[in-house]
Chains A and B, each alone.
Chain A
Amino acid sequence: MNLFLALVVAILFGTGATQLLKHDLFRVVVGLMLISNAASLTVIASGLRRGQTPIYPLVSGEPVSDPLTQAMTLTALIIGFATTALLLLAMVYRVYTTHRSVDLDDLSRSERSAEEKLERGTAVEQVEHGDAEADREAAGTPR
């Protein structure tokens, strides 16, 4: 059973990590959800011992299985659900409403241009250099 759970956790974590590295933000959120569930499953697995149900009255002399990990898993599940499902999806939606895209490439591109604007705003008026590079970039992108 331990080996089986370890395999399941490994597959969940691996799948989650793969999805986390994608460019689509929804896949990133899904990856994080898988990883959070892998963590919850690890907590469950950490209390995996044979024993009677930990509800009174207990049969004396027999070992009792660990109820603490169940409580911990419940807490971890709630926290994981709150963060990934609600908070992250809300943030992705906000990204979508501002950038009209959920692709990380688009996002970094528009952040870069925002940074350039700021640089322009703060730098002193030094116009010695031509910026052929920026020109080429501008010519390539329809406005």
Chain B
Amino acid sequence: MNLLLAPLMVLWPAAAVGALADGRRRPVGWAAAGVLAAAVALLAALAVRVATDGPVEVVAGGWPADVGIRLRADALGALLALVSAAVVLAALVHAVVSRRSTRLFPALMLFLTVGLTGLFLTGDVFSFYVFFELAMISAYALAASGREGRMVGSALIFAVVNLLGSFLFLIATAALYRATGTLEMLAVAERARSIDPNTAAVIAVLYFVAFGVKLGLFPFHFWLPSIYGSAPPAVAAVLAGALANIGAYGLLRFQAGLLPRELALAAAILVGIGTVTIIYGAVCRPSAGATPARSSPTRPSAMRVTSWSPSASAAGSRWPRRRCSPWSTRSTRRCCFWPSTCGGHWSGPPSPWARSASPGCPPRPASSARPPCSTPASRPAASSRCCCCS
């Protein structure tokens, strides 16, 4: 079997079979991880071959070269495919080891890898779109598959924004096909030199916006912090380590590879946007209010100044330690007494967890006037407030 087709041929049937199995069982998870490890090994072999012998090509289905879909691995594609598959493998192993795998998790990870591998190894613009949507659909499902309710909102925004990016990509691809009359990347790159500069500029801008959305570049980043913060750790790792590669690869392939003239025009803008993205991402804490860092009791408060959400920055460092978490299990959902009047469980708008009060919980005092509690001694008696963390 051709080395280029082998990873896809291994992953695709395994993903289809895995969708029928129950991923919560550990053997299923380990089997998926084994298949993924085999695919990573095949991709590594492919990368070695590409590094020594140059690009590898194959036309799918044995069609003539201009008719069939061409798969093509060059150094960039092979390397990114290897890195992405390795990231997905690590995330899958972590999820299986820590028993956080949900029913469809291994299968979705395999589908995601099929999509990623395919899009990095294809030499055809439209099949790039198909593989890309395969990867993205798996990512939407993965992002929404967590148990927490608040993740669904972030996942929905992630899906809506990225779908918009995908449709922009599709429109740009249609325009490129109209302008060049072919979908094969090599032929497109050749013919793109002779098309009308205005058309090429519009296409290049559309591609830039589409991949900027995927990558989370500065003006298109707004979906990114909430989904990175609220997705489960394994999914967040995949989103950051494997899916963001799509954006970077797309920018390199479609801008630098197909439309280099237009990229040269926008070089200064791209450098500026990249710099702003780095600074913005470094200064602002992208995971405000996300996974609690239990190991670190204190965080530098300077980081909170420019926190993402105003409420998170306002909540800053003045809240007392949590007594009952939003994720308290049913057995721990009971009325717990909050010694501090600054304890914020009453403050803020209603949250889904606070809707139903536990039985036996005294009604909340009508007065909202809280005595100042500068020192622990000035706090009122513990029983004066009650928080219900159901």
Contacts and interface: CB of A to CB of B under 8 A. Distances in A.
A24 to B, nearest CB: 13
A118 B174 contact: no
Contact of B163 (A68, A83, A125, A126): A83
B92 interface: no
Nearest to B375: A127
Given A88-B159, A123-B319, A94 B144 contact: yes
B360 interface: no
Contacts of B312: 115-116, 119
Given A88-B156, A133-B314, A139-B368, A117 B144 contact: no
A20 B224 CA distance: 18
Interface string A84-103: 10011001101100111000
B176 to A, nearest CB: 9
A135 B369 contact: yes
A57 interface: no
Interface in B367-390: 368-370, 372-374, 376
A143 interface: yes
Interface stretch (B83-91, B243-251, B276-284, B288-296): B288-296
Contact of B155 (A38, A72, A91): A91
A128 B318 contact: yes
Contacts of A87: 137, 140-141, 159
B309 interface: yes
B291 to A, nearest CB: 8
7 contacts: A45-B174, A80-B167, A84-B163, A94-B152, A117-B322, A118-B290, A122-B294
Given A99-B149, A112-B348, 13 more contacts: A32-B160, A47-B178, A82-B137, A107-B153, A113-B311, A114-B351, A115-B288, A117-B325, A117-B345, A119-B289, A127-B374, A129-B318, A138-B368
Interface of B: 126, 129-130, 133, 136-137, 140-141, 144, 149-150, 152-156, 159-160, 163-164, 166-168, 170-171, 173-175, 177-178, 183, 226, 288-290, 292-294, 297-299, 309, 311-312, 314-322, 325-326, 340, 342-354, 357, 364, 368-370, 372-374, 376
Would you list the 8 A-B pairs with minimal beta carbon distance, nearest first?
A: A115-B289, A121-B322, A134-B347, A98-B149, A120-B319, A113-B351, A139-B368, A46-B178
Interface of A: 20, 25, 28, 32, 35-36, 38-40, 42-43, 45-47, 68-69, 72, 75-76, 79-80, 82-84, 87-88, 91-92, 94-95, 98-100, 107-131, 133-139, 141, 143
